[in-house]
Amino acid sequence: MKRARALATGCQRRVLLGGVLGLGLLGGAAADTLNADLLQAARLDDGRRTMSLLLRGANPNARDERGQTALLIALKEESEKALKSLLEHPGLDTNLANAAGETPLMLAALRGRLDWVQALRQRGAEINRPGWTPLHYACSGPDEGVVDWLLLQGAEIDARSPNGSTPLMLAAGYGGISSAERLLKAGAKAGLRNEQGQTAADFAERAGRDRLARQLRAAADKP
């Protein structure tokens, strides 16, 4: 374990030193080329090239024409090797969102990748934020383990999206039924309504989950 930690620290040190030296030697056009190559390497899941470009001074937070960073691209494309290289860079900002306001942690949560969620959190990814949150996205996805872990990390259980929807509503209508049941046990409020006047039970009913809808209505009626 100590040896692995030392190797990781050494790798981060090399990336940082290489980036600093590289930035001092690069002109604007050269930097733009490096950044474009980095975005492509993330798209193609080329971990070695990703690391090489970072060592040469590519900006880990550079964006493409759609506002996507290499990290967002790697998560979207499930580029495991590129993701690992990016996460080793000390200058990586894990909270930069895409044009839709989705953060890396939100994308990882939606895919149900607890390993990615934990790695991003370790690098400073924020769990709570205004509007849509990683917990909303986790509740829309396939893996209840991510929901449990986010709650243990202090995720706001009744966080409101821009239209007032809560994680419980999304779990009831789109995610796993067990996610909704977990949220209820953890204290989620079943009687809350979004801007359309819908409750979590309405989401479940619309999805054809009648038993869950009854369970949610009963929970909402409790004082």
pLDDT tens digits, one per residue of 137-196: 999 988 779 999 999 999 999 999 999 999 999 999 999 899 999 999 999 999 999 999
Q: Looking at per-residue confidence, does 143 or 200 come out higher?
A: 200
**Residue range 59-78: average pLDDT?**
97
Q: What is the DSSP letter of 215?
A: H
Q: Taking residues 13-34, what's their average pLDDT?
A: 60
Q: How large a percentage of the chain has pLDDT more than 70?
A: 87
Residue 203 has pLDDT above 70, yes or no: yes
Residues 96-114: b if buried by 16+ CB within 10 A, e if exposed: bbbeeebbbbbbbbbbbbb
Q: Which amino acid is at 107?
A: L
Closest CA to 102 of 120, 86, 88: 120
Residue 87 reports pLDDT greater than 80: yes
Per-residue pLDDT tens for 95-117?
Answer: 999 999 999 999 999 999 999 99
Query: What span, in angstroms and rounded, lies between the C-alpha atoms of 81 and 222?
Result: 49
Higher-confidence residue of 24 and 193: namely 193
Q: Which residue has the higher pLDDT, 222 or 103?
A: 103
Span 82-89, average pLDDT: 98
Contact 212, 177 (CB under 8 A): yes
Closest CA to 62 of 100, 120, 105, 19: 19
The residue assigned the tokens 């733009």 is 32
Cα atoms in the Cβ-side hemisphere of radius 13 Å centred on 3: 0
Q: Which of these, 127, 66, 70, 128, lies nearest to 99 by C-alpha position?
A: 66
Q: Where are the alpha helices (DSSP H) in the chain?
A: 2-25, 28-44, 47-55, 70-77, 80-87, 104-110, 114-122, 134-140, 144-152, 167-173, 177-185, 200-206, 210-221
Please indicate whether residue 30 or residue 69 has the higher confidence score (pLDDT). 69
Domains of the chain, earliest start first: 1-93 (1.25.40.20), 97-223 (1.25.40.20)
Q: Which pLDDT score, from 0 to 100, does residue 14 have?
A: 52
d(CA 161, CA 149): 20
